[in-house]
Structure 1
Amino acid sequence: MEDKRSAHCKLAYQNKRLKTLLEKYKQSHHLQNALIQLSEQASTVAELTLLYPAIHDILQKYVPSKSFYVVLLDQHSQSLELSYFSDEKDAIAVALNQPNCFDKGVTGYVFKQGKTTHFTKQQMQEAADQGLFKAMGTPAEHWVGVPVYQERNIIGVLAAQSYDTQQTYSSQQIQLLEVMSLYLATAIERVKKRELLESEVKIRTRALTHSNDALNIEIEQRKHALQRQQILFKISELATQAKNINDAYFKIHEIIKTITYAENLYIALYDKESGWINFPYCVDEFKENTLPRRFSKGYSELVISTEETQLIHPCRAKELLESGTVQRSQSVQKEQKATSWLGSPLKTSQGVIGLIVCQAYNNKHIFSQDDCELITFVSHQIAAVLQTKLANQALKKSYHELESRVNEKTKELRQTNLHLQMQIDERKKIEQQLYHDAHHDSLTSLPNRSLFLTQLEKTLQHYQRFPEHHFAVLFIDLDKFKDINDQLGHQAGDQFLINVGELFSQCIRDHDLLARLGGDEFVILLTHLTEPQQAEDVANRIIDLMKMPFSLKDTSLKSGASIGITYSRLDYKHTDEIIRDADAAMYYAKNSGKNRYELFHPLLTQSVPEQEQQTLHHLDALPMSFRSSEIITLNEQHQSESLFEAFGEHPILGCTSFDILKKFAVDQEQHVQVELQLLQRAFTKAVNANIKMALVPCSSLLLGLHEFTLFTEVLSKQQGQSQLCLLFDEQEIRQACAIQLENLKKLSLLGYSIGLNNFAKDRCELNLLTDVNFDYLLLSSTFSKRVLQQQSYDFQLQGVLAITQLKKMKVIAKGPSILNFRALLDKHGLNFFVGKQHSLANKKQLLDPNLESIKN
């Protein structure tokens, strides 16, 4: 059996490797089609402005390249100039709004590096931060740049970019861009020459009208130009019309015959790594074939080493032999010596791959400089065609070998699979059973902790990508379960857990997940929620079911469920945070009377001394402490004044705000009692600290019809001890009823100092300032900050200051670091500020560097 398994694994590995090779052939096929289309476009378009869009259309079939541009090196200015630009987000003006923008940007970076570069959005920003280049335009999610070479010199950069995070560039697509760039320079050169030829034709045609002699000359030149163009077309057609490499050699020979004497012609290929020269095509009147040879000192080697076209007549041949530049390995008969020899290198972006040679014997033809120029002109195009054909030949050979091996291995695999199929099916059944046992509770058959945490992790990851898909976790602890075990035994307890699991399953949807963590603890994962109320509905159904009596061993018993609920939040990063919060809410429900549910609130995780946990319930037995902030201004003698800002703190809730009091107070009456306690303690603290003025936040509840009497009684008892300013929040005053507004005005008439807190937090309503006689006006930190940033807010501030000056109100700017901006706000007319406490040295520095002393 082990031998069969080993053979199966080996064959599977080989099959996988063969499929990979097939994928490579498929990629090569795409490359070939793209190059064929590029060659066709280079042969047909009339000018460069039409070539680049055509190249862009070709790329979009294989590469995500809606945003694509080409920059080329200007030989005169030696800077990168934009040749083509197409972008989804930026207009062409964005690309040209700065001088030498491409030299300084990521395109110039690729040009200097001379190699393909792929950046993600984050990688590009990091590189820009390192100073490698300057970031320009709208940042792309993926950017790839490929250098464009002409022979061995880089002449520009081809770049494509994507603004879609999911639309990246694979290695195959980048390879396609690199291959396209290899032939781009040749295509550009061909179109440029065609443009030049057409331009020359037009210029010469106009000149023909002046002279008949000039007309004849121009006609001949045009004929030559058209002849060259036709030759280029024929060479371009070789890429698609030649059946194989040998057919391509033959067609090349026929083309050369149309431009010069080519009765004796051979094509040689040079392998730089092995150092051998092969002669795959040879037509000669004295020899049928030329054998391969090592690189030596012949005429062919001279062309390859110099990378230039060589024209050799007998006189030059003698000079080359005498100087030792050319050496003959064996003597050649006189009649077999070439009397005129013309060889041109086949150059590509990877270097010289070979040469094409025409030679004449017995002075049948003497090659001229025109012949030299013509064969040089066509050799570059021939090199590109041959390189493509050679690559295709190698790929086809590999494909046929691959196909044969795949067929053989497939037959072997089929036979092996027949024997292994039954064993695989049996093993799958065993693995499925093992997986089920490992991820489900053995007692209730519900998912266990491992499976629940796995699913919760997937749900959290999905929520982080799609925040609109909310979820909730219910942590359930059964009440009185220990009593059931003690009274009826563990077997009855196990049966009770099974029954409870079935009941809980009836309360949730099919796609929700119910799991048993262990003991009497269950958890539920609810997904696809639109509001927290849906989780509360499930909790209510569970609580209602648990209120019903259970019958076990002819005994009727009652239990219950304490449930903690936590709803999805963006600040959740790990599943243990979710379980922790749901567990905290469950314990709060259990300590609050059991058989109920509680929603998680961050305050539940605050630490409480163990000895106080038994006595604290909601806001009962409320011990308070206070903290202060200093309101600082400078009078004419550059002295500072200190006011006291008091806030109550609860040992569980921390710093109390009215929103928190509303949530945890049992009712409105308790809320009012807590606020009055805070007010009395603020009086005492202010007297003990000898504070000139204490600012105490109050809620609008104290201005109610019945509450106002208690409020004024507390205030009257404290009169004469210390002065308090009662701060009311602007948003609450805006929403206050007529009675509350009337009582607010009464406070001012009774001689109490009142203030408006958080003014202009979301909008600036000046009618509040004119209707009520406030003594202090505390601007919101948001408004104070925006006064420095936007002129429109400064206009609003001037309106506020105009009213407050008439009403004799003190306007106070506040914020966590407002003192850092004191000098700036002072220019806008603000000279009262409230912020965090600072040391004496810091106060001097913030208020006035030249101030010698500060009075507190």
Structure 2
Amino acid sequence: MEDPALLANRLKYKNKKLNKLLKKYKQRDQLQNALIQLSELANTVAELTLLYPAIHDILKQYLPSNSFYVVLQNQYTQSLELSYFIDEKDGISVPIQESHHFSEGVTGFTFKKGETVHINKQEMSRLSKEGQFKLLGTPAEHWLGVPIRQNRQIIGVMVTQSYEVALNYNEQQVELLEFISLYLGTAIERVKKRELLESEVKIRTRAVMQSNEALNKEIESRKRALERQQILFKISELATQFTDIDDVYKQVHRIIRSITFADNLYIALYDKTSNWLSFPYCIDEVGDYCPRPFANGYSELVISTERSQLINRERAEKLIKQKIVIRSDDDVIKPASSWMGAPLKTANGVIGLIACQAYDDKYEFTYEDLELISFISNQIASVLQTHLANQALKQSHQQLEQRVADKTKALQQSNLHLQMQIEERKKIEKQLYHDAHHDPLTGLPNRSLFLTQLEKTLHKYQRHPDYNFSVLFIDLDKFKDINDELGHQAGDQFLIWVSKAFAECIRDHDLLARLAGDEFVILLDHLSDKQQAEDVAKRIIKVMQQPFVMKGQTVFSGASIGITYSNKRYQHIDEIIRDADAAMYYAKNAGKGRYEFYHPLLTAGTSSNKVDAEQHNLSSLTTHFRSTDVIDFSNNQVQLQLLEIFGNHPILGSTSFDVLKKFTAEKSELLDLEFSLLKKALILSETHHQELLFSCAAVVLESDNFTHLCHLLKQHNHNVCLLFSEEELRFASSTQLQNLETLTQMEFAVGLNDFGKDRCDLSLISKIKFQYLLLSSTFSKRVLQQPCFEVQLQGVLAVTKMRQCKVIAKGPAILNFRTLLENHGLQLFFGKQVNYDKDTRGNTLFERTSEPLSL
């Protein structure tokens, strides 16, 4: 029988060997998992700013890495620059201020050495004293840096450090970091190429847009060329169809009138032999022109210089002062406020001129007008000379007639070809005009076309007050619910159905347009009274009471309509749209599914009337609180509540405080009311069993108000977390941010509201210790629609988890919506809403529970 002691030693040896193999395989498994995760990141992450936090999350699974940063070498300046930084001791400001010293510190030492550096605090101090590098920032107990290589070339350093003596890095963890660094350079290169590809796509898109602009310019140029071609056609008709010189003058006037202002026009002929000017054609509102000797007038200036002239009041005074133009005392004709003339040039020289003028600033001629009349003058000069020659030389009439006939035949042949091109261009222009002025979904006129027509209607009403008009501003009720419940495709079909239904409620010559989203407008013209506009509104409300069936589901909507009627006080179309919009909001706040005419009381907040101002004084309104439960979706338990303020406005009804405070321009009143409502919330929380979230404006963090805020918070034994909007904090001053950080140091709870609405700024979460982070509903929806936002959410959850900050999601109270977000790592959502009605003294009026809100 074998000796038991010998058997035990043998088993002990095998056990030790098995443990060693187990440890080896465990290390290999960790390396394999880390490299697989890194490979997936390189294939999915779109930006380097999202790659580093994800790598950090991988490292935290296997080694102490709460303090972690990445430094890369700038290929142009050859300096080491910070790419990612998170640290338990030093804020982000420390490495940014010292970024240009990385080459002098232990990071630069590792970069130059090209090997892994694993040292403790004592070794770091010793090497620093020996002059190997400088100490930067707070010294760590354990420091581990690994070079990052790309194509055998070192491009940067990846560093993790520990500030606790007990948290050191073993050989396996060092080896893991070295393996990750070997593949990090490749991952960085792949992400950079993806970023470069996206940049090239944007550049190509911009080039296409520039090409479209060039095409539009070419179309405009062709259009002008076509207009001039049409003028040539008309002039060619003068040369062939009219034999009477008086008819020629009338046709010239008609051509010029079609392209510019020509109520006052005359044609003058110059006789070199007698040195006289004659006026065979003159249409002028002041008087006729009689033949006169060649003198120093505007006409003589055109003939003597053989150039077109544009003369306004300023230039006229200058010409008179320089004695180029001389006014005699016998001149009884009123001088023109704007004048232009072009010489009639022929092969034999200038034979006269054609001129247009305006009086009393009725019209101001431009250089474009001058260019057009110059173009016409060059063309009609030969025609006039031909007709004049016909009168003087009747014997050559047949020969001239043959020449004109041959020229006409050639022109007709070219006209036929040009006409085909013109028709094709007209079709293109018509389609372009339609696409630019109509909504692509419903085919209705868009905002641009509606505003253009409204401006014409307003000008017509200003000239003829008997032609009344009305504007109906329509906003669809519950349209957001249709989109959320049935999807955007069903929402589009609903908008198409609504547009067709609205079109059947109006006359053929009325204008129905879609402004944006679920907003429609109707322009009713040629009205005799307001009842006609009211009848149209009733028809629309009735038709919107009909159910809409889509995907086997029946939904009911409605329409809130604001109506404005023509009024002499309207000078701009913006005023009409503004008043119609105000009336629409009044109708919506008054119960929806109704119409309201605009009344000046709706905009009384801007009036100087004392009575109106008192009606819009926020301090005199009855306010009440509404709280919404925040529920943990994993156990369906209420965790805390969001407290919001509402007021009973005399016009707008029950409206949120954010809307009500727009009705006052007194900043001091807003600040006083802000502190007053905060005090009521603090008092309410003293008897409330749940923690309350309360929104505050960033103005309370300003230097003059912060002391009052601290005193108020210390005065009450409350359980309130102050919410500040991410948008406000993004533009807050350094003093406001410092005061916010002071609140956290004083152990007052603060939260970040509407995070991710415009951008996802993780630095703000890293710098300030927020207890709660409320994701905006926009960001929550994008997480489910776009993969890149899912990656951003994971980064947010990683940072908030490290900062021990709870994330609350906003969005529709739909089970599928919340279930999908829960799969992404979210648990806290908004639930039912509770109303605490208060009077202006802060006394509770009543409490009730309403249906769940869709935020």
| Same fold per superposition (TM over 0.5) | no
Bigger Cα Rg: 1
Instruction: Return the TM-score normalized by structure 1.
Output: 0.30
